[in-house]
Amino acid sequence: MVNLSSLLEARYGATSSGSAAPPAAPIAANPTLETLLQHKSVRNFLPDPLAPGTLELLTAAAQSAATSSNLQTWSAVAITTPSIKSQAATLCGDQEFIRAAPLFLVFCADLARLTTTCAQHGTPGTGLEFLEMYTMAAIDASLAAQNACVAAESLGLGTCYVGAARNRPRELASLLSLPPRVVALFGLAVGRPDPGAPPATVKPRLAQDEVVRRETWGQAGDDGAQQKQEEAARLAAYNEVLADFNAKQGRGDAPVWTYRSAHRIATVESLHGRDIFREVLEERGFQLR
């Protein structure tokens, strides 16, 4: 079994002053923790189809995720036909790994099912018109997808999420024949990693004290200046961690994380077409009151 400390060190990387990982708790590693802590995005797949029953098992894992009020406001489209998968890939940033993966799952926010139940029972379904219900559906879909992702990785499969499913949402909805009140949120490519390709690696994340606050966001009476100063120091440390990681991956000229992130959201164009998503939601029957 893999040592928990080594898993944490891989997940948080190192700075010039040493490991950026938190101290390992006196807890033994187990297969679940190993799978979670070793998550990585895989973009090189063998063309082999998945073993029979794999999709059904991944679906069962997805459906085992928590869902608000058991409303189950998500659905997914499983694409295995090469021609449809190729068209979907074109609409999702024209990424070749989507075509190569034997399975491409498109996770959707789905309020169509509840629209049907309201019609069946003669209720107005007014609650479906509010932003809360779209938010619930997006959360439900995300929880379900992550369960499917972890299940796939536990089977030795590789996965890669595809946010570019929102790049051309109208065209993707048309390709998948999505009904009103259903919209594609993201994709998940699934397949067996190609052993002949460079292996995917665990990418370090931000330090824990940057993403988890204890009890409250900040100290009472703090005007925010101290928090900003501490945050700047943590981000500078993460720039160093990721620069070290990129250098080891042969990407020594990659911009630092803060620069890349700032430019990723700098303009409307940097959203790659996703700036119209609210408009598309309304077109598809999500009223967002």
pLDDT at 17 over 90: no
pTM assigned to the model:
0.95
| Confidence class for position 218, pLDDT limits 50, 70, 90 | confident
pLDDT single digits (tens) 226-236: 889 999 999 99
DSSP string, 120-179: HHT---GGGGSHHHHHHHHHHHHHHHHHHHHHHHHTT-EEEEEGGGGTSHHHHHHHTTPP
The distance between the two most distant Cα atoms of the chain, rounded to a whole number of Å, is 65
pLDDT tens-digit map of 87-138: 999 999 999 999 999 999 999 999 999 999 999 999 999 999 999 999 999 9
User: Lowest mean pLDDT: which of 1-5, 147-151, 217-221, 281-285?
Assistant: 217-221
pLDDT band at 222 (very low <50, low <70, confident <90, very high): confident
